[in-house]
Amino acid sequence: MTDTNSYGNPVTATLSGIADLFRKKERIGTLADNERLDGKTCLITGANSGLGKAAAIELAKRGARVIMACRSGIPAAGEDVRQASGSERVEMLHVDLSDLSSVRGCVEYLDQHGITLDRVILNAGIVPNKDVATAQGFELMFGVHFVANMALVQGLLETGLVANSAFAAQGKAARDERPRIVFVASEAHRSGTPIDLESFGDYVEYNAMASMAQYGHSKRALLSYVAELTERLHGQVDVHALCPGPVDSNIARGAPGWVKPVLGFVMGKLFRSPAEASEPVLFLACAHAIEGETGIYLHLMTRKPIHEQATDPAVRRAVWAKGQEFIRRD
């Protein structure tokens, strides 16, 4: 797949996202109402808002115990999800993905409480209008989308909170079917700044117009990690990723003030609601049809290959190795 610049800046990204909604593509399938998660435990990040909140409601409706790992909205968002789903099996756990000590604290909490996770959904995301540093000095989108997700997933795998014997010191087999890890990425990964292994992880400065290139870069790094993780898990845990298409969420909260009214209007009229847009998240988390399959990437509900640079074996191994250094930073 060749690079396009269609998601290269906030204006073209908005237009491309809308155009994608009208293209007819082959669907992977449709999730039936009886595909439930009774008895299963799901952790979902960024579940106090937008896509994550909508997905949390549906997961709870489908019988799962839902742990909403969030940095804000505690406890109000959990109460909203409880009310909207009619389920009492909804909890909130604090995590700030811009600080690796908070990510480690989240893993420790789950470990201390012996919580085995059947589904992990890495949904949290952000688009600031200028560069900001995380607690460990990474550019914020790179730090949240790539480094923190890697740190969280690795913590869950090493502790065996997600059952596996590839990473866990005392390897555990999954209870019945294989656990699933689902990453919310973006088609913007195709037009993001390419991965340069020399400068990978270096802090970058940008303004609002250039934010999409760094957003796409951070999602490309994430998907490169996802490709490598899929291989290293040897099918013990199923790993999937997706782009939900344009969502009428709070993602543009960092947009400059003068853009917000126009963007808010466009998003409200033309973007999909979080509930509609959560379809691929829920399909990858719940569908029986993909049981035993790993490494699916969906754009909306259509299978696609991840960008070729992200899946290049030499690149993904190097991204993995650099990521191992990054997640250990204090």
21 or 115, CB closer to ligand NAP?
Answer: 21
Residue 98 in the binding site for ligand NAP (CB under 6 A): yes
Could you say which of 186, 214, 309, 311 contacts ligand NAP (CB under 6 A)? 186
Tell me the two tokens of residue 249. 């969420």
Distance (Å, whole) CA 222 – CA 215: 11
Positions in 110-129 near ligand NAP (CB under 6 A): 123-126
Which of 184, 223, 229, 300 is the binder for ligand NAP (CB under 6 A)?
184
Supply the DSSP string of 214-228, one letter for each residue: HHHHHHHHHHHHHHH
Sole window of 18-26, 157-165, 229-237, 239-247 interacting with ligand NAP (rule: CB under 6 A): 239-247
Rounded to the nearest whole angstrom, what is the least distance from the CB of residue 205 to ligand NAP in the complex?
19
**Residue with smaller CB distance to ligand NAP, 53 or 61:** 53
Are 246 and 270 in contact by the 8 Å Cβ rule? The answer is yes
Q: Which is nearer to ligand NAP, 45 or 224 (CB)?
A: 45
Select from 136, 249, 309, 311 the one that contacts ligand NAP (CB under 6 A). 249
Q: Please give the backbone phi and psi of residue 176, each rounded to the nearest 5 degrees, phi first.
A: -130, -85
The reply on whether position 52 binds ligand NAP by CB under 6 A is yes
Residue 39: burial class (beta carbons within 10 Å; 0-12, 13-18, 19+)? exposed
Closer by beta carbon to ligand NAP, 41 or else 249: 249
- Which residues sit at the interface with ligand NAP, rule CB under 6 A? 45-46, 48-52, 70-72, 95-98, 123-126, 144, 184, 186, 243-244, 246-247, 249-251
